[in-house]
A and B are shown apart, each in its own frame.
Chain A
Amino acid sequence: MAVITMREAISQALWEEMERDERVIILGEEVGVWGGTYAVTKGFYDHFGPERVRDTPIAEAVIVGAANGAAMAGLRPVAELMTINFAFLAMDQIVNHAAKLRYMFGGQMSVPVVIRAVGGGGRQLGATHSQTPDAIFAHFPGLKVVAPGTPHDAKGLLKAAIRGDDPVLFIEHATLYQFRGEVPDDDYLEPIGVSKVQRQGSDVTVVAYSKTLQHALQAAEQLAQEGIQIEIVDLRSLRPLDMGPVLESFKRTNRAVIVEEGWRSYGVGAEVAARIAEEAFDYMDAPIRRVAQAEVPLPYNQALEQMALPQVDDIVSAVREVL
């Protein structure tokens, strides 16, 4: 097991899949000569060449649209969106095309595309560059939405996304790229649509994913000092959503806190809470609590921005409240 960063894990997944399968190509803004604006594809252009690592114009609709078309015609394109905020410019290609073509044409077409998008706030980039709109994309049947919280899962899930035949939106949190974790040395895949218990505990079920997984793990350390043991279920995929481990845990703890970086209204927490209520109401001993972003466009000022984002202390407080 090597300890590597999230950036290295994602980069390795791409590199290994490109070595493995010539049909895998990368396209996006500054993925080639520049090496990726988050340096994920550094060195790719020189190694794989301009035919496989394609710098595009700044034109998100055609980046995703051309990736969809190339996927329909037999390639396995990985389109990179510099930030998920720009995915709104490609929304129609993501939700009206990638997600629907197989179904709408009676199963004739496959769109094995991966759309990598950098999401999340916390870097003082202002309201239009800091969003966590994961739940919006998870709303659409036909699309798979993956948002890993560890280097291990990032590498295994990205490889699975590239090898799979369905369209995947792969969300990478901008502030996790330097986060380090253990990654197996051999080739491995993580299944899409499978949640994972990242820490065992018996008092409260905490559901998290992506950046909030790391917040939840820190909260667990603090709470453990008070003798409170939380169990952390990492969703990893928002669609398909695997509620199995969440419900199994909830039936033991009878209490749940759901943490997401996006806004509370109509969000991931709302969905998970509703499913718990529908499927495990008899096990509920306390109201379910949601920890989420304040319902404001994220401000530039650092103190204000951090006030709006969910913090470790918010999780700690919410856990205490449900006990």
Chain B
Amino acid sequence: MFLYVLKRLFQSLITLFVITTVVFLLLRLMPEEGYFGENYDKLDEMQKEVILTEMGLRDPLHVQLGKFYKNLFHGDLGRSIVFRPRVKIWRIIKPKVPYSLWFGVASVTLSLLIGIPMGLFMARCKGHWFDSLGSGYIVLINSVPAAVYYLFIQLYLSSALRLPMLFDARNPASWVLPAVSMSLSGIAYYAMWVRRYMVDELNRDYVKLARAKGLSSTQIMTRHVIRNAFVPVTQYIPMSFLLTISGSIYVESLFSIPGMGGLLVTAIQRQDNPLVQALVLIFSSVGILGLFLGDVLMALFDPRIKLTRKAASR
């Protein structure tokens, strides 16, 4: 097990290295006009050169790359160049993370607490009105783009429930709508998969045996079916918690929450290379960690799954 963790860690480091390098190189392909934004027309050639040199963009590529990794090794993510010039990147990110994290954790918790029982219940009374109602909800949420239903939630639900339309950190009521909006797709996701896995498990032979043995259907459900149906679901849970750090672009801009959502897109659009690199590094390490934790959690839930044997048997 220890060896397995070590191997995965080593692999992840290589993957991260390749990702940051590729992103670094892609960013150097961006047009030079982009670094000046609106001021492009007002500057003459010399001023532009000075600014570009100051940003460190006139050094040869390998020097830029070397400098980036040297700083990274010392735990320094660098300084922003366009978004908020010469401000350390961790100072830009630090105040934003808690908002995204709190909303994210609240919405993932909500979707787990509502989605899983909903899926269980739908599988339990398959074909009845609750099942069709739930399926209708899943179809609607999965097919209509989030941009559209978020707008309607903000428009109509805020006035119907008399909740504030925009976020205000001092007013707890304003936390409700963003968290609920963000959890809608998660609820649909967990309900859909829990239902699917439950139905699959209910058709297995061991369920028939348990029934023949005389177990009540509640006992079959709690002791056998749920335990088995849960294993594939657990794999996604750590990932969905961890990825909340990147925030939700829609919800945060609609309700004007000062979180991480959209920071990456803004940074890319304004060509703030160090900021983009730092964000890509953070998000992809979180993503890789989430995948790993998901595998571990799945192995903990189901003793039949052996992480180490997987590599040997191939």
**Does chain A bind chain B?**
no
